[in-house]
Chains A and B, each alone.
Chain A
Amino acid sequence: MELGTLGAVLAFAIKLEGHSAQFYEEAASLAKESPASDVFLSLAEARRKRKELLQRSRRENINEMLLEPIVGLKGSDYLMETELSSKMGYYDVLQLAMELEENSRRFYLDAAGRVNLPQVTKLFEKLGEENADHKLRVKSLHKEEGPGV
């Protein structure tokens, strides 16, 4: 799907955050016997807050003067499979979480470079940076719990 308008980009971002929150809730449930569960729950909460922030941005930052077509951003470039199953191992879940964060980071930084509204650009850059932090948090779980580390 071509993300050619700010509304389409924000709608995609809002959906992304919603799916990510759901992913972390399910991951927390799968990992409920481990310290990772608390981390996943806090990441789920973070994603819910980010979704609200994006919804607020859609209300407050759309400036009619600066609504210009957006070129070169395709939603399909940032779609990824995030379905969890009870058969998945612990490390598989962590790996998927890191990929999720990296995918989000990539989306936000790409979108920041294409959106013309400064407030939205700043927001996307900030969210992209947070994704990098989230990835590090999940990676540290990988190291803590991983065999042979």
Chain B
Amino acid sequence: MKVIKNYVNGQWVDSKSTQILDVVNPATTEVIARVPLSTPDEVRTAIEAAKDAFWEWRETPPLTRTRYMFRLKDLMEGNFEELSRVIVQEEGKCIDEARGEVRRAIEQVEVATGIPSLMMGYNLEDIAVGIDEYCVRQPLGVFCAIPPFNFPLMVSLWFLPYAVACGNTYIVKPSEQAPLSQNRLFQLMDEAGFPEGVINLVNGAKEVVDTLLESPHVKGVSFVGSTRVGRYVYQKAAENGKRIQAQAGAKNFLLVMPDANLDRTVPSLLSSFFGCAGERCLSGAVLLAVGDIYEPLKEKFVDAASRLKVGYGLDETVQMGPVISKRHMERVLRYIEKGLQEGAELVLDGRDIRVEEYPNGYFIGPTIFDQVEPQMTIANEEIFGPVASIIEVKDLDEAIDIIHANPYGNAASIYTSSGRWAREFKYRVQCGNIGINIGIVAPMAFFPFSGSKDSFFGDLHGQGRDAIDFFTEKKVVISRWF
């Protein structure tokens, strides 16, 4: 089986590393590719290439730079279904989920084509008589992204299009567990004709990350992953004087009020808790049922979840795929065991699921715990799998207290027909992404992907106007002519 290549300075290059990992299809458990863990020297070569390409790219007019983005968009549209299928095979999500990811990825490129307007500065004449002042935005140099496995195509595009359209050059270190869609994306970017060195791809793991973080030539880092690694990347990047945005872990609470429309709420909850097998930073993790809604909600939720079809995502009828790896499956199963040990009631047990055609796949069925207490491990720690915990609460205040006691602050949602409760929830809850009758609060490309507390380290988020601020420096000029 061939080892996938790096893309450096406009060329596809074999890594000289002897450390090679298998890329495994989580449903079939077949090895579908092999990925190198590139060496520090190979990373430095990519950094040099990006550095050397910077000045000429920076001098390229923004409008010209965005034309590459238009070409990239067309190429991604033309290869939409293929990209979707690659994601399914490397990551495990269902084909519709993969299509949703590809669409979101394209949206990032589309928004970045607005850079000529988005990166405009501002000015004022006569700050004193005959003296004018203006502010311009300028790119800084080399930036890099360390995306996660769960959205292997999309996440690098939360950053790269904005960075590059603003005039920076870029390096992506894809997840070593799911590198193939990123690899294909770079083939398309190569076809789009980006000049050599402007965009680079280096496969690998911690050594690659450390080399990027330590290099004085890398100006900024964008990371998405766990809180443990996010904190590490944040600290190391800051120690090395870099800009850093690190989107980290989550434990998202979905609150259902007594006046919620249950027929519309339950399908939304299913999507939130079990979509992408629970492997999303926006996935629902804890269901807070307020007052009288608790019993009917639990009944409908458990019943509907029990009917979800689990299998290989290339089958259009499958509604939930496997988790990413055997190791992760075992981790999720340990959490389920922990829930039982701590006294929660397992009302839907996903451990014994069998997918006939793929008996060795990393499948866990939808799993639901009831009678969960807020202090339990399963209610507090990020499981990152298809495990939902139900907590019965007496009112909105108790629900918000539980949410705030949790160290994460990525997303929270309320299901209600009351504008008053919705406003109060939105106003008070300390989470970056708030949903009102929406279970997956995924900001569109023109908004920032927010997050707070242990879910985000840094000042500027990915996407939207934040991206422009992150990838440019403001330069203020005061001029006078004699």
- Whether chain B is bound by chain A comes out as yes
Q: Pick the contact of A1 from B94, B267, B317, B442 — CB < 8 Å?
A: B317
A64 adjacent to B100 (CB under 8 Å):
yes
Given A7-B95, A8-B316, A67-B97, are A60 and B442 also a contact pair (CB < 8 Å)? no
B274-316 CB mask vs A (1 if < 8 Å, else 0) is: 0100000000000000000000000000001001110000001
Name the B residues within 8 Å of A4 (CB-CB): 309, 317, 319
Name the A residues within 8 Å of B318 (CB-CB): 5
A59 adjacent to B103 (CB under 8 Å):
yes
Q: Which residue of A lies closest to B305 (CB)?
A: A69
A62 adjacent to B319 (CB under 8 Å):
no
Q: Which residue of A lies closest to B439 (CB)?
A: A65
A141 to B317 Cα, complex, angstroms: 39
A58 to B267 Cα, complex, angstroms: 20
B441-463 CB mask vs A (1 if < 8 Å, else 0) is: 11000000000000000000000
CB of A128 to closest CB in B, whole Å: 21
A7 adjacent to B94 (CB under 8 Å):
yes
Name the A residues within 8 Å of B270 (CB-CB): 68-69
A69 adjacent to B100 (CB under 8 Å):
no
Q: How many residues of B contact A (CB 8 A)?
A: 30
Interface status of B348 (Cβ within 8 A of chain A): no
Interface status of B438 (Cβ within 8 A of chain A): yes
A51-86 CB mask vs B (1 if < 8 Å, else 0) is: 000000011101111111101000000000000000
Complex A-B, nearest 7 residue pairs according to Cβ-Cβ distance, in ascending order: A64-B100, A68-B267, A7-B96, A8-B316, A7-B316, A62-B99, A8-B317
Given contacts A69-B270, A69-B271, A69-B319, 20 further A-B contacts (CB under 8 A): A1-B317, A2-B309, A2-B317, A4-B317, A5-B318, A7-B316, A58-B99, A59-B77, A62-B96, A63-B103, A64-B101, A64-B442, A65-B439, A66-B271, A67-B97, A67-B100, A67-B271, A68-B270, A69-B304, A71-B267
A1-17 CB mask vs B (1 if < 8 Å, else 0) is: 11111111001000000
Q: Which of A1-45 contact B (CB under 8 A)?
A: 1-8, 11
A11 adjacent to B316 (CB under 8 Å):
yes
Q: Which residue of B lies closest to A6 (CB)?
A: B96
Q: Pick the contact of A5 from B80, B94, B442 — CB < 8 Å?
A: B94
